[in-house]
Amino acid sequence: MKLDLSKGTYIQIGGELGKYNSLPIETLIKIAQDFQELVLNIAKYDLQTTDPINLDTFKIELLDFRPGSAIPCFCYSPRVENKVGHNWQIHRNSVNEKLENIVEVAASGDYTKLKIIYPNPSTRNPIVESLYSLVNDFDTAPVSFVDYNKETLEIIPLFKIHRFGSSVKKSLITPIIETSVSNIETDVAVGRIKITTKGDIIKKKIINSYSNKNYALEYAPDLIVFEKTSYQLKYPLRCLFEMEDDYFVIQSEILDIIGTGLTEDEAEISFAEEFNFLFNKLNSLDNSQLTEHNQLIKLNLNNLIEKVVK
C-alpha cells in the first residue's frame, strides 16, 4: 500500500500555484476540506463492516509541509478522542486501500473506471462529487501524490493526477430518485405498452402508467439497443420500472444498473447506455482485476446475452 494516512500522505503541487514553495491560505484550506470530504465519503459509503462507524475516526490533519514546489502532508488525526472503537486502525487501513484505488483511477486519467469500482450510483455519486472537487482545486497546476524521504530529502513520485472533466463527471453521476412503496394491496398500477417491429427486431416500450401515488411496473426487454449495437437476450431481463413526480427509473437488481430520464424514452436510452458500458467494460478486464461482486455481474451478463449485433 503506497498511500497511508496513518503515517502521512504527501501531495506535490507544481506550476504557478506551487512555484514559491508555498500555498495561499484559502487554497490550502479548500484542498484540506475536499480531501477530508473524500476520505469521509469513502468511510461513510464504501467501508464494508458490521461495526458501528464514528466518522471522527477518519478526521485528517496537516502533518507536514515541504518545499520542492508546495508539498503538504495530511494524516489521520493522532488525537486520542478520534481513535474510536476497538477496530479503528483496521477501519482506517480499509479506507486507505479504497483511497489508493480511487487515486489510481485519477492517475490513469480514465475516470469512467469509477463505474466499475462503484456500480451502485448511491455509492458512486458522493465519491465522484468529492473527487471532482479535490482534483479541480489545483486548476491547471500539475499535481502528484508522492513519497518523501526525510533523511535524503528525496521526492518519490507515486501517482500523477490527471484532469477530471465536467462532461466525464456528468456521465458518472446518476440521479437517485427516492421512492416509497405502498403497503395497501388495492394500490394498483396499470401500464400501456407499444410494440414496434423493424425487420427481425422487436421493441417493447411503456407508453403510460397510472397509479394512485407512485408508478411501479415491470420492464422486461429481450432486446436492448444502444446506438448501432443490439443485444439479443436469451430471456427477458426483468427490471423494475417506476415513476415518481417527473422522473422515470428503470432498475435491474441482478446487474446493479439504473437508467433514468424525464421521459420513458430517456430512461430506456439511459438504461441501454449503462448496459452497453457495463458489458464492454467488464469484458475488457480479466476476472483477476474485478471484485467478486463484479465477477458475478459479469457472469450473469454473459449468460444473459444470446447474441451481439453491431
From the list 201, 202, 181, the residue with the least C-alpha distance to 193 is: 202
Phi, psi of 221, rounded to the nearest 5 degrees: -75, 145
* pLDDT for 191 beyond 90: no
Range among 80-84, 97-101, 232-236, 266-270 with highest mean pLDDT value = 97-101
In the numeric block, which cell numbers belong to residue 123? 455509492
pLDDT attached to residue 183: 47
Determine contact, residues 174/125, Cβ cutoff 8 Å. yes
**Bridge pairing between strands 71-76 and 143-149:** unpaired
- CB 269 within 8 Å of CB 260: no
pLDDT for 244-280, tens place per residue? 667 788 999 889 898 888 888 888 999 999 999 999 9
Q: CB atoms < 10 A from the CB of 134, how many? A: 25
- Condensed to tens digits (0 to 9), the pLDDT of residues 146-168 reads 999 989 999 999 999 999 999 99
pTM of the predicted model over 0.85 = no
